[in-house]
Amino acid sequence: MIPLKDTIPRIGIPLITWILVLLNAIIFIFEISIPKDILEEVFYFFGLVPARYSSPKWALIHGLSPKDYFPFLSNMFLHAGWLHIIGNMWFLYLFGSSVEDRMGHIRFLILYLLTGLAANILFFTLDIHSMIPEFGASGAIAGVMGAYIVMFPRARILTLIPIFLFPFFFYLPALFYLGFWFLIQLFSGTLSFTSPGTGGVAWWAHVGGFLAGMAFVPVFRNRRHSYREPFPDETYHHIYR
Q: Which residues does the annotation mark as catalytic?
A: 138, 206
For residues 78 and 85, what is the distance between their CA atoms, to the nearest angstrom?
8
C-alpha 134: how far from its chain's center? Answer: 13
Report yes or no: 120 and 135 within 8 Å, Cβ to Cβ.
no
Give the Å distances, CA to CA, from 167 to 91, 102, 159, 160. Answer: 19, 32, 10, 6
Q: Which of 202, 184, 177 is nearest to 79 (CA)?
A: 202
Name the 3-class secondary structure at 167: strand
Q: Where are the beta strands (DSSP E) in the chain?
A: 2-6, 156-163, 166-173
Sheet holding 166-173, edge to edge: 2-6, 156-163, 166-173
Backbone angles phi, psi at 55, to 5 degrees: -130, 75
CB 209 within 8 A of CB 140: yes
* Alpha carbon distance 108, 143 (integer Å): 11
- 89 contacts: CB under 8 Å, gap ≥ 6: 21, 24, 25, 137
Element (H, E) at 151: helix 138-151
